[in-house]
Amino acid sequence: MFLQLFRVGNAVMGVIGVLAASFMAAGFDIADECVNLMISAVVVFVFICGGNALNDYIDYEIDKTAHPERPIPSGMIERDVALYAGFLMLLGSVVISLFTEDIECIVIVVIATILMVLYETCLKQRGFIGNVTIAILTGMMFLLGGAVVGSVMDNMIVAAMASLVSVGREITKDIEDMDSDEGRKTLPMKIGVRNASILACVFYIAGPILSIQPMIVGTYGVLYYTVIIADIMFLICAAYVFKDPHKSQKLAKMAMFVALISFILGVFKF
């Protein structure tokens, strides 16, 4: 039941993400930091588990209808137990990060933990600022991956790109969920669907623009140019957001995966 509460599958994907981010920053020298890599993997796993547990505690009333099979509404876990587990895991991620003995790693984890707690307790209900918070947390995974191998600056572009397109996707999801988002003041509710769609487009386009920078300075190998596929997908997302928000945000998720693969491939220089 705790595996279900923590949504371990998501946590495993987070581990894969931070290891991929480390490879982007250090390339094949990644093996030199194997101890800190293992520590960062545990940090991310524990952090995501804690965030999911806190989410289930906060969204208890919503999950009664939307996800009745989850541990709290189904009665498998007491609500207070989920709260304690969530905070314990989030605190644990900070404590574990201390073993890296790297100030950049520790600061990133501390900030991410604070943002996660703020998001779940108050920012989630405030629309756009909640969208931006989730996007920043997405980008911070790439910063952590770079920091753990001593190359945090090398991942700044991919972190910024991931954050920008994530804002677009989060706004699109809010447009899609307008009818069911009771008790929230989402951006589409505040400024209207059309204006929110225009803003989502801006973020979908801003990400691909940033992806051009590594091409100009020659950061990655020729295989990085496959990122153009992801860029085109994001531009299609920008077009679809007006007529089919569901399709737009799903395609954005796929495009983010394609972009991730492109950054990884770019490490291989021929």
Q: What is the pLDDT of residues 3-39, one digit of tens each?
A: 677 788 888 888 998 999 999 988 888 888 889 999 9
* pLDDT at 184 exceeding the cut of 80: no
Q: What's the pLDDT tens digit per position in 225-245?
A: 999 999 999 999 999 999 999
Nearest 5°: phi and psi at 65?
-100, -45
Task: Write down the domain spans for the chain.
Answer: 1-150, 156-270
For position 67, what pLDDT does the model report? Answer: 73
What sections of the chain are H helices per DSSP?
2-6, 8-26, 34-58, 60-66, 79-97, 103-121, 128-147, 156-176, 187-191, 193-210, 213-217, 227-240, 245-266
| Under 8 Å between Cβ of 232 and 265 | no
Do domains 1-150 and 156-270 share one topology? The answer is: no
CA 130 to chain centre: 13
* Tokens encoding 160: 């910024």
CATH for the stretch 1-150: 1.10.357.140
Give the global pTM. 0.88
Let me know if domain 156-270 sits in CATH 1.10.10.60. no
| Under 8 Å between Cβ of 72 and 63 | yes
Average pLDDT over residues 210-231: 93
